[in-house]
Every structure is written in structure tokens, then in C-alpha cells.
Structure 1
Amino acid sequence: MSRSHLTRWIRALAAACTLTLAATATAAATPQDRTTPRPDQTAAIVDASTLPPEQLCDLGKPIPFGKYLASRGNNAPASSPTATPAADSDATDLRQECAEHAEAAKTARGWIKSRFESCQKKPYDLVLRNLQGSETLGRMWFDVWVLGFAHDGVRKAEYAVSVENIEVAPVGTEDATKWRIIQSFSHSINAGKSDPNPQVTAPTTTTRDETLTGWHTTPHWTLTYTSPDTGKVETGNHQRVNATVTMTLGANSPNADSSYSEVGAFHSGVRFDYAGAVAGKYKGTVFTEARVELVLSLSDDAIKESTRHIRDAQQYPERTFPSWPGKTVPGKDEPLHRLINREEQDANRDRAIDTCHDVWGNYEGTRLQCDEYPFSSTHEGANAGNDRYSARLIDGDDNEAGGRRLNSMYIANRILDGDPFYVKVTS
């Protein structure tokens, strides 16, 4: 929100509150009256964004929970807003980067940095009120963090979870120390995208139900999900297990008949595999929703010809062969998918070489090689049957260097057969 929009919103809220107070001054209930719903009323915790501004008039002054505890004579230790159970540089760096991607980070899937790191930082603003809307009992603000770490070389995914920056605005005698926040994790397996006998081992504890005092004192906890394997590479079976880890976020109060519950407040797609050398390390785990890109630069002298070829195929397909009206080539906005089968790779390569011979003739005895895009190691290669490819003669050393860059990307991101990726060309 811009500063001008924020100023107008504050003025509108102030005006709404003034009008509401003026209209109800003669019949206003005392704070004590407002803290206890009448027997014919039902109290609930709701998202503040669902309420009109005038119903938030008495709830706009947040008190840091540590200060609230101190005002009640409670000397609970202050929480650390930055420490995590895995207090290392990776976690610290991920938190900083997550804060820089605030819009993506507050979504249910969070900001996914890579196939091995993800992060959610989601703010909450909840109000305890009766369903008739005539009484409000309090308000709480807090941030939920979920740092995800998948491991290349181990079939394990870890989630460092926390509730931080708790602030409250209780009304009258309402006791915010009795308010609770609940985080409950579960997982499911997509058998259709997994290899036979898929299994996931969940952590012993998957639910944490604490008072605000408990979260303030100990804001962090960690969950580790693993998957068993046979201990060896199996022909035709990568022992893939595609799973989804999901969190439900809840909040309640002794004075609330209806609790707040957000199913799917966080979700994480994760895959365990034992694919062997084709993936680099023989086994590992990745976050499947990460966008993988092969980034190539036109300024890189070692691969300038192959990069220019990809740029032309993506942006100027009319300059490439085979040439046909309306030709498009995937890889920029439409993903490519890795191909492992050697025979199919050879078929892609042979089809591209035939095109090079048709256009440029015999180039044997030269330093030139036939470069194909999409790559022969993708399902979208030249032999896919739709002529959405390009073949071009380029310097042989350049062509081979480009192939090594592609293979390095496969290994670095644990790309298996059928996994999607994109190709990005920079200046």
C-alpha cells in the first residue's frame, strides 16, 4: 500500500470509529460487560480482514506480547525473532531472502528459492468477537515462518517452523495468555506419480498446540520427513515418492465457541528418489514446485554461438531451420522435459543432423558441429514429430561446452526423466 493510500485508509478508519462511538456513546457497555458474551451469543475467532473498519476501532493498538506479559507480572524470557533450531548461515540467509520476496512468501506454498530451499512468512491478524458483531473481545497479530530444506544425497526434507512477533489487544478483562495457536502438519502420497510401494515416514510430533505464552517463550520447532529405500539403484525403478506436506493453522480462546481454522495454510510438494548416477548423488529429495532454469548468457564467450542459437529459436523462430509458417519452439514460456532414454536421445540427434545436412551440406572435416534445440536430451527434441526444433552448425568447442552446462544443470537440480525446466537467455 502506498503512503498516500495508507494515509487515506487511516483517516477513513478514524472517521468511522468517531461516528460509531458518537452513535453508541449513550448505550456503551463497560469493558467488563464486553468481555463475556451473553448466553444467547456465540463467540468466534475470525480474520480481521473480514470485518468492517468500525468493528476494529477498539483493537488498533497492538501490544508486543512480551510487554503484555510483563504488565501482568510474568517474567517469561523474551523470544528470539531470528534464531532457528538449525541456527546456521543457510537458515539466516534464507530468512533474509524470504523477507525480500514478501508477496510470494505469504502464499500457501511460500517462496520457493530452489529445488532444495523454500520459505513461508505469513502474517496473521485475528479478532475474537461474537457472531452478532456487537462485541469484540480482543485481537492478535503474529507471523508464521516455515523454512523448508530438501537434501541432495539424503531422502529427507526438514521444516523449521515458528510463530513470531506476537502482538495482542485484549479488551477489558480478557486474558490473552489463555489464547492459543495450533499448527498441525499432515502428509499425503501421490501414488500415481510415485514408483511402486511409496512410503513416507512422518516425524513423531506433527501438532503443536500452545498458549501465546508458550509460543513466545519457545517460538521454534522442527519437523523431519524421510522415506525408506532399498539401499541400491534398481533398474527401471527410481524409488520415487511424490508427496505433499500440509499445515493447518488454528487459533482459539476459552471464550470462543468457534475456533479459527485455516486448512492448507501451508503446503509443500516434495519428492524422494534413488535414481543413481543419472541424478548426480545416488539418492536425494527435492521440492517439486520449484521453477528450474538453465540460464545462459550471450556475453559468455565459451558458449556464445549455442546461446545465440537458442535465443533465435525462442524469439525469432523464422530465422531457424526447419522453417515453416507459424513455427514456435518451446523452452522459454513452455517447459522442456528431461529425456533419459539413450536410444531416443540418439534419434533426436540424428534428426537434427539430417536437417543440418539438408541445409548446409557435408561439413565433415571442419570444426563445425550440428547444434540442436530443444536439446536431444529432452522429450521435445528434434524427433518429437512436430518440427518445433532448430538445427544449426556452430563451433564444435562451443557446442560441447553448452552440453556440459546443460548436464551440470541437470545434476545441480536433481532433474530426472520427465522433470520440467526452462531455458533463459540473458545479455
Structure 2
Amino acid sequence: MQTKRPFWKRSLFSSLFVLILLWTTTVEIADATPTAGGGQAQTEKGGFYWLPNDPEKVDEITQIFKEGQSIEELGLKPGKIQKRKGFKSLEEMRAADEKSTATYDANPGAPEMTTQGWQPPRFEYDYIRSVDECINNPASNTEEGWIKNHYAYCWTDIATYQIPRRCFLGICFYDGVQIRFTVLGYGSNHDRKARFTYFIDDILVTNPRLNGAKLKVDLLCEPKVNPGDCKPNPITPAEERTIAEWRNQHVGYKDFLSDAPDATDFNPDRIGYMEFWPQLTIKDPPRKFTRTIDGPKQTVRFDSATYMFAFPDQYFRHGAIFSKTNAVLNVPINDPQFSVLREAGEHWKHAMENPEETKPTVLGKKIPGALGDRPLTRMYTRRHPDEYAANRNKTRATCDREFRDEDRTGKQCDEFPFASTWEGSSTNGMDWFSVKLISKEANEAAGSWLGSWYAYDRILDGDYFYVRVRE
């Protein structure tokens, strides 16, 4: 005779069986469905995320990630796809540059004495040299990234991919991959080409099988003014590698070229613009799961200005710069190598800091140029000969009046703001300028040095900049 198990034992056995069945059930994730905007419908659990620019928050998220918990429950939003917004006018793009509050220190070398007189130094790039230099700058993880100067840009962030491994009573446990993505950008003072190098490092995998997941990395671009503003170089395609392969080969490259449009009265410098941004796509074939995220957009300006020239033989006929920043021209007058600029620099500093003490005397005079004040605006003298001549003539007449009783032997009249700016003595329209007698040597060296810097940093006709005299 068979003895029946008590009811409570049979119920306990059944419950345990159901629990074991639920526990061992793996959640299968279907392919992400593309949306009309080019993104993906985030209807399944799991996703691809950029982490916030907050070290403490990143540490908290990373710990939860390692424990297999959902990082989305901390309020993270899955990464999005950038929208293409089409062409804009040249005025709109330049106006966007002018509105940028970012600045960078421009530090051209000291003038050099030669048999032909004072001449500018040779041009040299000041690129971002390493991933560490990038990530150690606080601006590198902002939406705009870090623009070190017109020729050097970088952006970095941590990307985290998660997918449920199994779920139990609505509670899911996750596998994932975390990486740090860094892109370094290089402008040019010789051609219409922008170059990029990107890096995948600090790879963290919570399940060994994800070493076989595929990560595709690319940089995308959109022309903004002319159709030929953004042409991906075919020799630098997107790179797709497994996570294991990225550990061994963690570098990729992308170049963009720009066709020069025809010169016109409206666009004599043959300017073009493109927007660019990084795109990462992770594919997890066993789970049939794909996610794509885009990084933030940034801008490159191309030009073919023929007047980018530094005496006597440095020509810079084409260029590509990171334009959403304004230069601050540094004049280190206490540096012995810059001693020839001391007189001019002292004058410029005094004019910006004590305008009412300068000549000509004008009550309420305000002289722009200092960082935090109104910028100066370059005026290409051969394109605006009448305005430039008016600045020089007014300066000369003012000096003749103000210094008529002084011995001017070996001296010349220095003006600030410079005659090559729209804030010059005549073109500012308000007599908000300063004149001072300085040595002929100092005046000529300063003029040559300023002219060369315009070419070195590709300060085009109409570009803003600031001046800072360092003592």
C-alpha cells in the first residue's frame, strides 16, 4: 500500500519546482527595432548608456554594474542617436562660433632677430598628445568637449552596455560591458582635412561570454554650408571588433576631407563647416541584441584664405580648425625672450585696464580686448583698404596732435586696439582707442608678430579674439 505525502510536503515540492524553473529561465532579448528617426525602440530591458560627468556617480554606477544590478534604475537614460538638421547659412554658422563662451590661450613663440630684422618664429602645432592629457582636463567630459586650441580637440566618456541574464519574479540580473571611449581631434594649417584618433580602454566585462560581443566605432559628419564640406576618407572606415579584439587593438582612425567651394564676394575665404560626432554600436549575437549610441556634436571650420601668410616665407593656404572657441593672445612681457614686445605690451595692458588715462582724453572711454570684455574683431586690411587707411590716418593725426612737443627720434606711434581690427581708432566710431610713442624696434616687432599670429591661428577677416598681457 502506497503512502501519500502530506499535502504541505506536496505543495512545498511544487513551489520549489516552480522557483527552480523560473530561476533557470534565461531572458532572451530580441533585436532592437529601428525607429523612424534612425534610433532604436528601447522597449526591452537593458541598453547602452553614457555615464554622467560626476566621478562619485560613476563609481556608484560601476559598483552596481559589477554586482549585476540595473544601472537604469539609477535614472540613467539610454543613449540616443543624433539628428541631422540639414544645411545652414554661412552667417548662422559664424554667428554660432561668435556666441561660444569657450576660449583658449594662444601662445605663439617670441619674435626672432635676423639679418632682415625682427621676424616671427616658425609655426608649430600644440596638439593634445595623449589620452591622459585629454581625460585630465575637466572640460573633456562636457557636452562641448575640450578645445585646447584651434587645432586640438578631445572628448571622453564611459559607455556601459547591459542586458538581463535572467529574471526572477520581476527582478533581473544583468551582464554587461563597460568601456572608456576617447577621441582626439587634429586640425590643420596646411589642408582642408580634420583627423581623429579614438581609443577604447578601461574595458570591464561581467560575463566572459561578452568578450565575443562586437563593438563598432565610427565618427559621422554632416555638411553645414556646402555639399562638399564633409567627405569621410575611405581609407579610414568604421572599425568593428570583438571586445576581446579591442583589448589587443584599442585604437582607430577617422579622417574627413572638405572640397573648397568657389570663391565669391559673399564667401571669399571659401569657408565650409561640418558637424561631427562619434557613434558606437554593440552587437550581442547570442541574445540577438543591438544597441547604438551617439556622442555629442562638435564643429570644424574649413577655409582657403589666401592671406594666411607670415613673413618672409610661411604660407598657410588651407586650413581646418575647431572653431567654437575664441583665442586669447598671450603677451608674456616679463619673459626675456619677449623683451622686444615689452613697450607695446605695457601700452596694450594700460589701455585695457585704465582707458581714461590714455590719449586721446575721452570721458567714459572704454577700450575693448580684455577677456571678460568685448573682443576685438580682425579686419583683413587688403579687403577693407579704405577702413584700414582711415584707422591709420586717424592714429597718425592723433599722435601728431598729442605728441607735437615731444622728441620722436627713433620712436613710432603705437595704437590699441590695432589698426587691423574693427575696433581701431576710426572704425570703432567713438574715439575709444589709445596712442603712445614707443621705440621703432618695438613697434615693428609687435606688428610683425601680430600679423604672423593671425596666420598661425587662422584668425580670418571678421573673427573675434582677445589680448592678455602677462607680467
TM-score (normalizing by structure 2): 0.66
Indicate the larger mover: 161-170 or 178-187: 178-187
* Higher RCO (CA 8 Å, separation ≥ 6 residues): 2
1:43 to 39, 42, 45: 45
Query: Which residue of the partner structure matches residue 246 of structure 1?
Result: 277
Query: Which residue of the partner structure matches residue 370 of structure 1?
Result: 413
Query: Which residue of the partner structure matches residue 284 of structure 1?
Result: 319
Q: How does 1:21-420 map to 2 (within 5 A)?
A: 33=24, 36=27, 42-47=44-49, 59-60=65-66, 93-101=129-137, 103-129=138-164, 134-170=171-207, 175-191=209-225, 198-204=228-234, 207-229=238-260, 237-251=268-282, 253=284, 261-263=292-294, 265-279=295-309, 280-299=315-334, 300-333=338-371, 334-340=374-380, 341-361=384-404, 366-383=409-426, 384-420=428-464
SS in 1 for 2:451: helix
Residue 165 to residue 359, structure 1, CA distance change in 2 (3 Å): same
Between the aligned residues of both structures, percent identity stands at: 24
SS in 1 for 2:231: coil
SS in 2 for 1:308: helix
Residue 33 to residue 330, structure 1, CA distance change in 2 (3 Å): farther
Q: What residue ranges of structure 1 are gaps of 5+ in the alignment? A: 1-26, 63-88
2: distance between equivalents of 1:149 and 1:38?
A: 40
Counterpart residue identity of residue 357, structure 1? D
Shift in Å, 1:177:
2.8
SS in 1 for 2:388: helix
Contact 1:42 / 1:257 at 8 angstroms: preserved in 2?
A: no
Shift in Å, 1:351:
2.3
Residue 60 to residue 325, structure 1, CA distance change in 2 (3 Å): farther
Counterpart residue identity of residue 339, structure 2? D
SS in 1 for 2:297: strand
Shift in Å, 1:302:
0.9
Contact 1:111 / 1:118 at 8 angstroms: preserved in 2?
A: yes
Contact 2:128 / 2:148 at 8 angstroms: preserved in 1?
A: no
2: distance between equivalents of 1:366 and 1:139?
A: 77
Shift in Å, 1:229:
3.7
Contact 1:177 / 1:212 at 8 angstroms: preserved in 2?
A: yes
Residue 57 to residue 214, structure 1, CA distance change in 2 (3 Å): closer
2: distance between equivalents of 1:418 and 1:123?
A: 38
SS in 1 for 2:171: coil
Query: Which residue of the partner structure matches residue 426 of structure 1?
Result: 470
Q: Report the structure, 1 or 2, having the larger helix content.
A: 1
2: distance between equivalents of 1:295 and 1:55?
A: 42
Residue 373 to residue 259, structure 1, CA distance change in 2 (3 Å): farther
C-alpha offsets along residues 5-53 of structure 1, whole Å, 9 cap, x if unaligned? xxxxxxxxxxxxxxxxxxxxxx9999964852699x9312254858999
Residue 331 to residue 38, structure 1, CA distance change in 2 (3 Å): closer
C-alpha offsets along residues 141-164 of structure 1, whole Å, 9 cap, x if unaligned? 211121212222222111112222
Shift in Å, 1:387:
3.2
Query: Which residue of the partner structure matches residue 80 of structure 1?
Result: none
Residue 268 to residue 343, structure 1, CA distance change in 2 (3 Å): same
Indicate the larger mover: 357-366 or 238-247: 357-366
Contact 1:42 / 1:256 at 8 angstroms: preserved in 2?
A: no
SS in 2 for 1:135: strand
Residue 189 to residue 92, structure 1, CA distance change in 2 (3 Å): closer
Residue 53 to residue 391, structure 1, CA distance change in 2 (3 Å): closer
Shift in Å, 1:260:
5.1
Counterpart residue identity of residue 195, structure 2? E
Contact 2:49 / 2:293 at 8 angstroms: preserved in 1?
A: no
2: distance between equivalents of 1:185 and 1:406?
A: 36
Residue 29 to residue 213, structure 1, CA distance change in 2 (3 Å): farther
SS in 2 for 1:222: strand
Contact 1:233 / 1:276 at 8 angstroms: preserved in 2?
A: no
Shift in Å, 1:344:
1.7
2: distance between equivalents of 1:422 and 1:54?
A: 42
2: distance between equivalents of 1:53 and 1:146?
A: 22
2: distance between equivalents of 1:302 and 1:58?
A: 60
Counterpart residue identity of residue 386, structure 2? E
Contact 1:37 / 1:43 at 8 angstroms: preserved in 2?
A: no
Shift in Å, 1:377:
0.7
Residue 181 to residue 377, structure 1, CA distance change in 2 (3 Å): same
SS in 2 for 1:113: strand
Counterpart residue identity of residue 391, structure 1? V
SS in 2 for 1:144: strand
1: distance between equivalents of 2:287 and 2:368?
A: 54
Residue 128 to residue 289, structure 1, CA distance change in 2 (3 Å): same
Contact 2:213 / 2:285 at 8 angstroms: preserved in 1?
A: yes
SS in 2 for 1:93: coil
Count residues with an aligned counterpart. Answer: 364
Shift in Å, 1:409:
0.9
Shift in Å, 1:182:
3.7
Shift in Å, 1:408:
1.9
2: distance between equivalents of 1:155 and 1:136?
A: 50
SS in 1 for 2:431: coil
Residue 109 to residue 48, structure 1, CA distance change in 2 (3 Å): closer
Counterpart residue identity of residue 345, structure 1? Y
Q: How does 1:6-21 map to 2 (within 5 A)?
A: none
Residue 335 to residue 29, structure 1, CA distance change in 2 (3 Å): farther
Counterpart residue identity of residue 151, structure 1? S
Root-mean-square deviation over aligned CA pairs: 3.9
2: distance between equivalents of 1:28 and 1:367?
A: 97
1: distance between equivalents of 2:263 and 2:400?
A: 40
Contact 1:351 / 1:382 at 8 angstroms: preserved in 2?
A: yes
Contact 2:300 / 2:320 at 8 angstroms: preserved in 1?
A: yes
Contact 1:145 / 1:163 at 8 angstroms: preserved in 2?
A: yes
2: distance between equivalents of 1:93 and 1:164?
A: 17
